[in-house]
Structure 1
């Protein structure tokens, strides 16, 4: 739906706005990429052994990318995810906007999307891109991994392997559980469509901005979306967030459990990385809150607590019952009360 968002322009704007990565020589960059690729392959066996889940043989291998490539991939995924919702919004509009307004508006929203992607591309270390209309891929963002290991003053090999363990866990989640990818895509598209207001509801929701903005800036909500969602939509968002918390928490638990044997300095890395997740300066923290990244950080924490608690009660195999079907995923209540999930699933 390029009449609303010019995704091609978003890619161009993002590539122009993104800051360069760390200042390294060509040889050092090549060595970094080669080692990350090697460690990504080495992470497959320990993640499978620890999680007791195995990716199928045809699952895509990890791709080591730079920031502009990450922007391009995610622009495509965002477009595929949001197009159904934008189509609904087009059907709800009162009248067709004139062509010049469409062109200008799509460029503006494209620039905004590009700016957001440029900011995020400097933060993300790795990602399993579920590619709603494309081929899923595991992405490892080399310049961000290199700059973060420098920032934390940690052993580079250990840190790179630790990141690969987390992202390999996501690859296992989405490839060993056949229904999970389509379930996440369906839930995300459904939520995005539900969040698209018609003209009348948009006017009423905009009146909430002045009262909701302090909550967004406090970091207690879901970012800018908090400004316009209804209580019912907030409940649906909480259910989707619970699943994302499960995925992120599970990956954190696996990476740390593999760590002691394969990543000697894992305790130091975890301590320093946890502090980093809180954000550095005031501007960085503000942007994180507006984009909902503070809520993202809580997903790691809440999800890891859930996974640990369930595994203590019923073991790893008992926890893996969570992957049986969409019905066995934790609810928004259960992600913070693991015993409730254990009683429902295991009796």
Structure 2
């Protein structure tokens, strides 16, 4: 990334340092127990690979049948600081082009370099604060954008890595009072589905990255306006304006950070991104529940308790932050996407559903997520004629 006057738009190192300093400590776990948890999560990730591929009938190119080796996408069991570092690396890669453009614009402003040095640190602190909040809540993630390094290995084909956040998994299983071994396998089934999606559909990563870059490319606001809108979002949160309801639906007032920077063109792109993310999350939930009864004895109890936890925040602060960050929309993605997948599989079977992975043109639209029959009519009528 280019630099004006030695300062970047975002002080990434400060973001990592801030998030690591502010993140809540994980649950108390002895050294031997911690090692056992890490080893078990790795075993479950490997076991989940076979279960997911068998259930979804999705295999990476070149793999020969169920049980064959998947691609070389690594599984990393990390702590909260490890998750923070991985996501900062991902943000830095994705936001690079936008920040370069904004930095060039700032450089043309008198005193821009000095303001940039201050603004980069402020933004780094703000990003760190947001990541510190998220780092204690994410159970797992398929991280696809950060470049591979020794500390953060990725697949040789340019793909990402699967992150399993051990302290968060332990925290939630204790909070829900569920069987630890069953819960860890259940989580791995969901996250392994994401790894399978990207491994078996080679064009998916580039498609999503292209949509994100197009979205960011439509951003034409200057840095001062962006900061002003971010400040508006923060004030909305601090002022206690109406937030998301208990069911995850939007309240009357308040907008997420994403809402504050949208142009009409961005809304169209965001609609497509919302549809594909709903598909990916809903598919993972559907697979998790489909495989669960055969391999997770207490899956019904886990699912019920986890759904209750998902729907309700941990108090007013949690709910307000979920709204500010747009996380309430993510909850709807799980629900709506799972309904879409279930309806399509019931109508045309798993092989019929898997036509969704043929190309970007066969991905569901946002409207089709809500009306699965429309996707079936469009895709199957065209391909079967």
TM-score by length of 1: 0.93
1:322–1:99 Cα change, 3 Å: same
Corresponding residue for 2:48?
43
Q: CA–CA distance in 1 between the matches of 2:332 and 2:125?
A: 29
2:301 is the counterpart of 1:245: no
What's the offset of the Cα at 1:31?
A: 1.0
Corresponding residue for 2:166?
142
What's the offset of the Cα at 1:58?
A: 2.9
Match of 2:142, SS state, is strand
CA RMSD of aligned residues (A): 2.5
Corresponding residue for 1:314?
348
Instruction: Give 2:304's match in structure 1, choosing from 271, 279, 297.
Output: 271
2:41 is the counterpart of 1:28: no
Corresponding residue for 1:301?
335
Q: CA–CA distance in 1 between the matches of 2:47 and 2:192?
A: 10
2:297 is the counterpart of 1:283: no
CA contact (8 A) 1:64 1:141 kept: yes
Match of 1:335, SS state, is helix
Instruction: Give 2:100's match in structure 1, choosing from 71, 87, 96.
Output: 87
What's the offset of the Cα at 1:142?
A: 0.2
Gaps of 5+ in 2: 2-6, 64-69, 149-153, 155-159
Q: CA–CA distance in 1 between the matches of 2:46 and 2:289?
A: 18
Count residues in correspondence: 347
CA contact (8 A) 1:128 1:137 kept: yes
Instruction: Give 1:64's match in structure 2, choosing from 43, 66, 77.
Output: 77
- 1:277-310 per-residue CA deviation (whole Å, 9 max, x = no partner) reads 1222111111111111101111100100000011
Instruction: Give 1:106's match in structure 2, choosing from 113, 120, 125.
Output: 120
Corresponding residue for 2:157?
none
Instruction: Give 1:117's match in structure 2, choosing from 128, 131, 138.
Output: 131
Corresponding residue for 1:184?
208
CA contact (8 A) 2:176 2:305 kept: yes
Gaps of 5+ in 1: none
Summarize the alignment of residues 129-208 of structure 1 with structure 2, pairs less than 5 Å apart: 129-134=143-148, 135=154, 136-198=160-222
- 1:212-234 per-residue CA deviation (whole Å, 9 max, x = no partner) reads 98998345287222123234422
Q: CA–CA distance in 1 between the matches of 2:241 and 2:280?
A: 26
Corresponding residue for 2:243?
217
Corresponding residue for 1:128?
142
Match of 1:280, SS state, is coil
